[in-house]
Structure 1
Amino acid sequence: MNGKYSLPVVKAVDLIWSSFDKEEIRRGYAMLMQEAQQGGADALCFIARCFMGEEYVWSGAGFATDDANASMLMQKSALMGSATGVLCAVRSGNFTPAVQRGMPFASFKDAFEEILGQAERGNAFCCYMIGNVYYWGDYLLVEPDLAKQFKTENKYNAWAYPIAKEWYERSFKGHICAGWGNYCNIKESGLCVIKNNVYESYFRALAEISPLICNNYGCYIRGKVEPEVVFSYYMKAAQRGDLQAMVNAGSCYDEGYGVGEDTDMAFQYYEIAAIGGHPDAQWQVGYYYFDGWGSIEVDYAKAAQWFEKAYRNPKSGRKNKVRSVAYLGICYRMGLGVVQDDDVALEYLQEAEEDIDMLWHPIDSMVLDALGGENPSTL
């Protein structure tokens, strides 16, 4: 309840949420730990955010998700009088009745006004949090009577989004990128006018800060500019550790898009992303080993291992699961890199058959032939 962050917290937040540099992030985290040991309630809140997953901190920072520890720290922060802790507790589902009773604020509104004061004085992270309060509807905890004016969520959003937009833009000017996804959603909603030139100006600026946004900007301009420009954004993001950018850069090398075709370079980027846990990259590496591309020799054992990783990866989309399980089924059916097992093969192949339209020739034919079904390529 100090009304402002300590200087070490201000510096630490800047390092963790603006640098996108693993060493600088760790330096910022050490500063937060030191502040927390000295009783800093705000520091506890920001430490908690580090363990709440990629919605709260850059995935490339290397923090392991620990929901239980994060909840404990977040609630403790709010109970110790951190207005940031209160706002983040509401947003993360940690604003329990016990926290509401025990916090030293008379109401959520008091905590909101403390953060609002810091935002108005130019703190970019506070600007982001105020934007969130409006965007997510938490402002109805500030002014409960407003709920009577909005009969639907859409009507609330039509009122709140223009306000959230302004606060997010102020946060962008302070190099805080965390609100970009919500800002994009506001634009796409049609409930708030964001001119294309304004949108693209912020997009370009934030692409120079965040590897994630840098990759997304490359996707955004694809087809609008020269392929070499698109590739340059993928490469900048990949070199700063963005896994999706590595996959995109690998795809460019695969296709010769914006760069000379080079299957070996493509594999290098796919492999780095695969080791980092990207599900599509894991399938790509398996595919390279299964068929043998460029200087990569056929290695069915490695192929099966990577297909298994891609299939089991909780981040795999349905298409990636289907193509991974299809190749796994073939591996087990034919004993390629694994001990031949008809029962396991049948289980995998039947799962692949459920979405056979997602596959292509010849793998769709191989699946159906292995199952003794009708081959779509012969129809």
Structure 2
Amino acid sequence: MNGKYSLPVVKAVDMIWTSFDKEEIRRGYAMLMQAAQKGDADALCFIARCFMGEEYVWSGAGFATDDDNASKLMQKSALMGSATGVLCAVRSGNLTPSVERGMPFASFKEAFEEILEQAERGNAFCCYMIGNVYYWGDYLLVEPELAKQFKTENKYNAWAYPIAKEWYERSFNGRICAGWGNYCNIYESGLCSIKKDVFEAYYRMLADISPVICNNYGYYLKSEKNDPYNSLIRYVQAAQKGDPQGAYNAGYCYENGEAVEEDIHTAYQFYELAAIAGHPAGQWQIGYYYFNGEGIVEQDYAKAAEWLEKAYDNPKSSDNNRVKTAAYLGICYQEGLGVAQDDEVALEYLQEAEEGIDDLWEPINAMVLNALGVAYAFGRGTEEDIELGYQYFEDAAKLGSEEAKENLQYINSPKPRF
């Protein structure tokens, strides 16, 4: 119940949520830690936000998600009298009955009004939080009687979105980008009048600040404005600022000659940036380049397998990314390419790849079918089933696999008798 943030917290919040610079963010975090050690309840709340994942802090900052620790810090900040802690605890599901009873605020409304006062004085992060209170419906905790007035969520949103929109715009003017996704939803909902030129002006402005929004703006220019050249420029800018999706998108443009001459070397460099930053599709691309020896990349099965396994194990990997990664790993393990040969592991990957075989392309689809034929026809990693193996060879041969044709010829050839 401080009425306003301390100067160290104001500076730290600005460094963490507007700089998008890893070193600057770390300095801001150190300032929060020092403030928290002196009993600053707001600092505890912002420290908690750093460990709540990319919805709360830029992923490029390098903070590891730690929900349990974040929850404890968030609740402690509310109990110590941080209005920010109370609002964030509600939004993140951390305002438990015991915390609500123990906090020094008489109600959620009292905490809201403290943040509202700071927002009205121009604090951009507080403007963002006020926008959230309206956008997410938490304002019904401020004025419970309104629930009787708005019988449906849509009716509430029609009332709340215009208010949230104003607060989000005030936060954008203060370089806080966190509410942009919600603002886009408001724009697309049709429940609030936002002129297209205003929307695009904020989009451009925030794209110059946030690497994530910069990449998204690149996609917007491509899909909505049919402007692939400036789209690529934004992807490159996002990549240079540390956004892995921007790096991947730039790599894709160079690989496929979109708005630029096809350049496998440059594509690889952007894919590598994405891969190192943990982008699953970027990791797959690097593995693919090493497997085939694309462009300036010399074929190296060990490096291929290393990157493919990173892509496969990446929790952010899409189903499609896992399928194509499994296909190449299955081949690697069956043939011992860059890894210790292991028929059982190979079969597991190959069976997973088979489930998504329609999403694969030539020649890898034929390679997977031939490898499955090898597994079953010759009992590698499973019991021998010549009939099933023969069927796989036939399917692979229809797709042009010379290996499958040779395997069919071998099975069909008369065996010598002794």
Q: TM-score w.r.t. structure 2 length?
A: 0.87
Equivalence for 2:334: 333
Equivalent residues in 2 for 1:328-367, closer than 5 Å: 328-367=329-368
1:142 maps to what in 2?
142
Counterpart CA distance in 1 for 2:173 and 2:25 is 20
Residue 169 of structure 1 deviates from its aligned partner by: 1.0
The AA in structure 2 aligned to 1:61 is A
Task: Specify the alignment match of 1:47 in structure 2.
Answer: 47
1:68 aligns with 2:68: yes
Q: 1:312 corresponds to which residue?
A: 313
SS of equivalent to 2:105: coil
Aligned residue number for residue 185 of structure 1: 185
Partner of residue 237, structure 1: 238
Cα distance in 1 between the residues matched to 2:279 and 2:61? 15
Deviation by residue 1:9-52 (Cα, 9 ceiling, x = unmatched) = 11111111011111211121122112112211111111111111
What letter corresponds to residue 172 of structure 1 in structure 2? Answer: F
Q: CA deviation at 1:156?
A: 2.2
What 5-or-longer segments of structure 1 have no aligned partner?
none
Aligned amino acid, residue 119 of structure 1: A
Q: Which residue does 1:129 correspond to in 2?
A: 129
- Helix, strand or coil: the match of 2:145? helix
1:355 positional shift: 1.6
Q: How many residues align?
A: 378
User: Matched residues, percent identical?
Assistant: 76
Partner-residue secondary structure (3-state), 2:163 = helix
Structure-to-structure mapping, 1:1-379, within 5 angstroms:
1-222=1-222, 224=225, 226-372=227-373, 373=392, 374-375=395-396, 377=399
Cα deviation for residue 161 of structure 1 reads 1.7
User: Shift of the alpha carbon at 1:226?
Assistant: 4.6
Q: Which has the higher contact order (CA 8 A, sep 6+)?
A: 1
Which string of whole-angstrom CA distances, capped at 9 and with x for unpartnered residues, describes residues 147-168 of structure 1?
2223332232222222211111
Q: Distance in 1 between matches of 2:151 and 2:371?
A: 57
CA distance in 2, matches of 1:277, 1:245: 13
Residues 164 and 377 (structure 1 numbering): CA distance in 2 closer, same or farther, change over 3 Å? Answer: farther
Shift of 1:3: 1.4
CA distance in 2, matches of 1:323, 1:154: 41
- Measured against aligned partners, the alpha-carbon deviations of 1:115-155 in whole angstroms (never above 9, x if no partner) come to 11111111110110011111111111111222222333223
State the distance in 1 between where 2:72 and 2:300 align: 47
How far off is 1:225 after superposition? Answer: 5.3
Alpha-carbon shift at residue 377 of structure 1 (Å)? 3.8
Q: Deviations over 1:291-340 (max 9, x none)?
A: 11111111111111111111110000111111111111111222222222
C-alpha distance in 2 between matches for 1:377 and 1:162: 57
CA distance in 2, matches of 1:255, 1:111: 53
- 1:197-221 CA distance string (max 9 Å, x none): 1111110000010011111111110
Structure 2 letter corresponding to 1:147:
A
| Letter of the structure 2 residue corresponding to residue 221 of structure 1 | L
Amino acid at match of 1:13: V
Structure 1: distance between partners of 2:319 and 2:189: 26
Q: Work out the CA distance in 1 between the residues paired with 2:320 and 2:151.
A: 39
Which ranges of 4 or more aligned residues in structure 1 deviate by more than 4 Å? none
**Partners of 2:159 and 2:372 in 1: CA distance:** 57
Matched AA of 2:171? S
Q: 2:215, 2:235 within 8 Å by CA — same for their partners in 1?
A: yes
Q: Is the alpha carbon distance of 1:153 and 1:42 closer, same or farther for their aligned partners in structure 2, counting shifts above 3 Å?
A: same
- Offset at 1:111? 0.3
2:53–2:65 Cα contact (<8 Å) kept: yes
Moved more, 263-272 or 322-331: 263-272
**Contact 2:177 / 2:206 at 8 angstroms: preserved in 1?**
yes
- String of CA shifts for 1:184-208, please: whole Å, max 9, x gaps: 1222223223222111111000001
The CA RMSD measured in Å over matched residues stands at 1.5
Query: How far apart in 2 are the matches of 1:194 and 1:364?
Result: 48
TM-score by length of 1: 0.96
User: Hey, what's the Cα distance between the residues in 2 that align with 1:73 and 1:163?
Assistant: 30
Of residues 34-43 and 261-270 in structure 1, the stretch that sits farther from structure 2 once superposed is 261-270
